[in-house]
Amino acid sequence: MNNNQYLIPANTKKGSLIFGIFKPADLTIFLIGIGITLLILVIMSATNTMNNVLSILAILPGLIAVLLIFPFPNYHNIRTALGELIAFYTNRQKYVWRGWCSKYEFKDK
C-alpha cells in the first residue's frame, strides 16, 4: 500500500529566505543602513570632524537598520511586527481575538 502522505518540516519557509534569515527587503534595508553609516564615518574621519554627538548620529542609520531586521517572536522581525501594528490601528475593521492569528478579518453579514 503506497500512501503518498508527506510530513512538512516546521522550518520549510526558512529555506526560501536569503541565508535562512533575510527576506530581500530586509537584506536591502540592512545593507543600505550599514552602507550609509560607513560612508558617513569615512567622510567624518577624512575631514577630522569626529566628536561624540556627530559619531552617535553617524552610527544611527546602521543601528536603526539592525533594529528593524532583529528577530521578534511570532513575527519574522520588528519591521513585520510594526507593519502589522500599523495595519491594526489604521484599518477600520472589527477584530475578534482568536489566539495568535495575526491576519483575521471579521466580516459582518
30 pLDDT band, cuts 50/70/90, is: very high
Q: Is the pLDDT of residue 103 over 70?
A: no
Q: Which of 73, 85, 69 is nearest to 33 (CA)?
A: 69
Give start and end residues of each alpha helix (H) in the chain: 24-46, 52-68, 78-90
- Which three cell numbers, joined as nine digits, stand for 17? 529566505
- With a threshold of 0.95, does the pTM exceed it? no
Q: Is the pLDDT of residue 2 over 60?
A: no
Q: What are phi and psi of 89, to 5 degrees?
A: -85, -15
